[in-house]
Structure 1
Amino acid sequence: MDIPKAVKEQILRQKVLKPLIQIEAGTKPYEIPAYVRYDLIAQTYQLLGKAKEVIAHQFLSASWATR
């Protein structure tokens, strides 16, 4: 996925993504709970201006991951 520079700036420098749990530097992706990953994807999609249906699907997937 090609992420625009402005969005990268928000993510990397302004720290606009807020994970549901604290994630330490160096944590491997598979060590992060699925619901947290889906939530971060949804937050990124919001920054990218994706359709509400696409964002809602990520939140739905996050809810399934916690079952």
Structure 2
Amino acid sequence: MPVTLNGQTYCQTAEACARAAISKNTFLRWVRQGTFPDVRYRDRKGWRLFSSDDVERLRARVQEVRETQQS
């Protein structure tokens, strides 16, 4: 469910991971390991909010990992 904050639309973790074609568990592991930086905003429940830029960075990281694995 999209959330609007300061005129920008954000999505939650499940939607961002689906857009980036990665599992939520993999994303959370990457954050814990420091492989991917955590997002800047959270909602009042503490859930992560991803901007379109965050989703694009995640997609790029997924692509980078997949290319490395194929080499």
Considering fraction of residues, name the structure with more helix: 1
TM-score (norm 1): 0.38
Considering fraction of residues, name the structure with more strand: 2
TM-score (norm 2): 0.36
